[in-house]
Chains A and B, each alone.
Chain A
Amino acid sequence: MGDLVINEAFLQQVERLQTALKNNVAGLFGGNHKSRTFGSSCEFADFRNYMPGDDITKIDWNAYARFETLYLKLYLDERRLHTKIYLDVSQSMAFGNGKKRVAQLQLAATLAYLSICELDKVSIYAVRDSEIIEIVSSISGRETYFAEITKLNDIEYFGDCFISESILPTQVGYGDGLSVIISDFLTDNDYERAIDYLADKKRDLLCVQVLAAEELNPKIRGKNVFYDSENQSRSYRKNINKDIIRAYREAVKYVQDRIRDYCNARGAEYILMRDDKPINEVFFEQLAQAEVVK
Chain B
Amino acid sequence: MSFYYPLGLLGLLGIPVLIIIYIIKSKYTEQTIASTYLWTLSERFLKKRKPISKLTGILTLILQILAVIAASLLIAHPVFTIKASANDILFVLDGSASMNMSNDGATRFERAQSNINRIIDNSRGGSSYTLIFVRDGANVVFEGVTDKDQAKSDVNALSAGWSEADCSSAVGIAQEYFDANPSTVVYLVSDKQYEARNMTLVDVSGGEKNFAFTDYGYKYESIGVCGTGSVISYASDANVSVELWASVNVGDEAVRYGGTSVQLKKGEPKEFEIRTTLAGFASLELRIASRDALAQDNTVVLYDEAKSQDRKVLIVSDLQDTVYLKNAISGAGKAVVEIMSSKKWEQDVAEGYGLYVFNGYSPSSLPKNAAVWMVDAIDGSGAGSGLSFRDYESPRDTTGPGSYYSAKFADEKELSSQQRSLVKGLLRRPVAIRKYAKYGVPRSFTTVMRINDNPVVVTGLNENNDREVVFAFRIGDSDFGLSADFLILVRNLVDYSFPSVLERTVYKSGETMNVNVVPGCENITVTAPSGKSVTLDTVDNAVCEVRLDETGIYTLKVKKTGAEEATLYAFAGVPLSESNPTGGGQLALSGEREYSYSDGFYDNLLAFFIAIAVLLLADWGLYCYEQYQLR
Binding site for B on A (CB under 8 A): 91-93, 95-96, 100, 184, 186-188, 212, 215, 219, 221-230, 232, 234-239, 241-248, 250-252, 254-255
Task: List CB contacts (< 8 Å) of B15-58 with chain A.
Answer: 26-47, 49, 53, 56-57
Contact: A250 with B34, CB < 8 Å?
Answer: no
* Inter-chain contacts of A232 with B (CB < 8 A): 32
* Inter-chain contacts of A100 with B (CB < 8 A): 34
Question: How many Å lie between the Cα of A252 and that of B37 in the bound state?
Answer: 10
**Is B629's beta carbon under 8 Å from chain A?**
yes
Between-chain CB contacts (< 8 Å), 19 pairs: A92-B34, A184-B34, A186-B37, A215-B35, A221-B626, A223-B26, A223-B29, A224-B30, A225-B30, A226-B39, A227-B31, A227-B36, A228-B36, A230-B35, A236-B39, A245-B630, A246-B45, A247-B42, A247-B43
* Inter-chain contacts of B627 with A (CB < 8 A): 221
Contact: B35 with A242, CB < 8 Å?
Answer: no
* Inter-chain contacts of B31 with A (CB < 8 A): 224-227
Contact: B35 with A227, CB < 8 Å?
Answer: no
**Is B532's beta carbon under 8 Å from chain A?**
no
**Is B443's beta carbon under 8 Å from chain A?**
no
Considering only CB atoms, which chain B residue lies closest to A222 in the complex? B29
Question: How many Å lie between the Cα of A219 and that of B31 in the bound state?
Answer: 14
Question: How many Å lie between the Cα of A29 and that of B501 in the bound state?
Answer: 140
Contact: B34 with A215, CB < 8 Å?
Answer: yes
Query: Main SS of the interface on chain B?
Result: mixed
Contact: A248 with B29, CB < 8 Å?
Answer: no
Partner of B34, one of A95, A236, A237, A252: A95
* Inter-chain contacts of B49 with A (CB < 8 A): 243
Contact: B38 with A187, CB < 8 Å?
Answer: no
Question: How many Å lie between the Cα of A284 and that of B629 in the bound state?
Answer: 35
Contact: B36 with A236, CB < 8 Å?
Answer: yes
* Inter-chain contacts of A96 with B (CB < 8 A): 34
Considering only CB atoms, which chain B residue lies closest to A253 in the complex? B45
* Inter-chain contacts of B28 with A (CB < 8 A): 223-225, 237
Contact: A244 with B37, CB < 8 Å?
Answer: no
Contact: A248 with B626, CB < 8 Å?
Answer: no
Considering only CB atoms, which chain B residue lies closest to A248 in the complex? B42
4 shortest interchain CB distances as A-B pairs: A250-B45, A247-B45, A186-B35, A95-B34
Contact: A224 with B36, CB < 8 Å?
Answer: no
Contact: B47 with A243, CB < 8 Å?
Answer: yes
Query: Main SS of the interface on chain A?
Result: mixed
Chain B residues within 8 Å of chain A by Cβ, number: 31
Contact: A229 with B34, CB < 8 Å?
Answer: yes
* Inter-chain contacts of B626 with A (CB < 8 A): 221, 241-242
* Inter-chain contacts of A248 with B (CB < 8 A): 38-39, 42, 45
Q: Separation in Å of the A167 CB from the closest CB of chain B?
A: 20
Contact: A226 with B43, CB < 8 Å?
Answer: no
Q: Separation in Å of the B26 CB from the closest CB of chain A?
A: 6
**Is B344's beta carbon under 8 Å from chain A?**
no
B601-631 CB contact bits vs A (8 Å, 1 = yes)? Answer: 0000000000000000000000000110111
* Inter-chain contacts of B42 with A (CB < 8 A): 244, 247-248, 250-251
Contact: B45 with A251, CB < 8 Å?
Answer: yes
Question: How many Å lie between the Cα of A136 and that of B154 in the bound state?
Answer: 97
* Inter-chain contacts of A236 with B (CB < 8 A): 36, 39-40
Considering only CB atoms, which chain A residue lies closest to B46 in the complex? A247
Partner of B30, one of A212, A227, A246, A252: A227
17 more A-B residue pairs beyond the given contacts A215-B35, A230-B35, with a C-beta to C-beta distance below 8 A: A92-B34, A95-B34, A222-B29, A223-B28, A224-B28, A225-B28, A226-B36, A229-B33, A236-B36, A238-B39, A244-B42, A246-B630, A248-B39, A248-B42, A251-B39, A251-B41, A251-B45
* Inter-chain contacts of A186 with B (CB < 8 A): 34-35, 37-38
Question: How many Å lie between the Cα of A226 and that of B31 in the bound state?
Answer: 5
Partner of B33, one of A221, A227, A246, A250: A227
Question: How many Å lie between the Cα of A93 and that of B627 in the bound state?
Answer: 28
Contact: A212 with B34, CB < 8 Å?
Answer: yes
Question: How many Å lie between the Cα of A228 and that of B38 in the bound state?
Answer: 11
Q: Separation in Å of the A191 CB from the closest CB of chain B?
A: 13
* Inter-chain contacts of B631 with A (CB < 8 A): 219
Find the residue from B45, B57, B626, B627 having the highest chain A CB count within 10 A.
Answer: B45
Question: How many Å lie between the Cα of A100 and that of B34 in the bound state?
Answer: 10
Considering only CB atoms, which chain A residue lies closest to B43 in the complex? A247
* Inter-chain contacts of A234 with B (CB < 8 A): 36, 40
* Inter-chain contacts of B41 with A (CB < 8 A): 251, 254-255
* Inter-chain contacts of B34 with A (CB < 8 A): 91-93, 95-96, 100, 184, 186, 212, 215, 229
* Inter-chain contacts of A221 with B (CB < 8 A): 626-627
Question: How many Å lie between the Cα of A227 and that of B44 in the bound state?
Answer: 19
Question: How many Å lie between the Cα of A35 and that of B42 in the bound state?
Answer: 46
Question: How many Å lie between the Cα of A221 and that of B206 in the bound state?
Answer: 64
Find the residue from B31, B38, B43, B627 having the highest chain A CB count within 10 A.
Answer: B38
Partner of A252, one of B38, B43, B57, B630: B38
Question: How many Å lie between the Cα of A36 and that of B133 in the bound state?
Answer: 117
* Inter-chain contacts of A251 with B (CB < 8 A): 38-39, 41-42, 44-45
* Inter-chain contacts of B37 with A (CB < 8 A): 186-188, 228, 255
Question: How many Å lie between the Cα of A228 and that of B31 in the bound state?
Answer: 9
* Inter-chain contacts of B35 with A (CB < 8 A): 92, 184, 186, 215, 228-230
Question: How many Å lie between the Cα of A184 and that of B37 in the bound state?
Answer: 11
* Inter-chain contacts of B38 with A (CB < 8 A): 186, 215, 248, 251-252, 255
Considering only CB atoms, which chain A residue lies closest to B41 in the complex? A251
Considering only CB atoms, which chain B residue lies closest to A100 in the complex? B34
B345-378 CB contact bits vs A (8 Å, 1 = yes)? Answer: 0000000000000000000000000000000000
Question: How many Å lie between the Cα of A100 and that of B35 in the bound state?
Answer: 13
* Inter-chain contacts of B29 with A (CB < 8 A): 222-225
Partner of A254, one of B26, B32, B45: B45
Question: How many Å lie between the Cα of A251 and that of B35 in the bound state?
Answer: 13
Contact: A95 with B33, CB < 8 Å?
Answer: yes
Question: How many Å lie between the Cα of A227 and that of B32 in the bound state?
Answer: 4
Q: Separation in Å of the B244 CB from the closest CB of chain A?
A: 83
Question: How many Å lie between the Cα of A237 and that of B43 in the bound state?
Answer: 11
Q: Separation in Å of the B32 CB from the closest CB of chain A?
A: 5
Question: How many Å lie between the Cα of A100 and that of B626 in the bound state?
Answer: 29
Contact: A243 with B46, CB < 8 Å?
Answer: yes
Question: How many Å lie between the Cα of A56 and that of B317 in the bound state?
Answer: 177
* Inter-chain contacts of A243 with B (CB < 8 A): 46-47, 49, 53
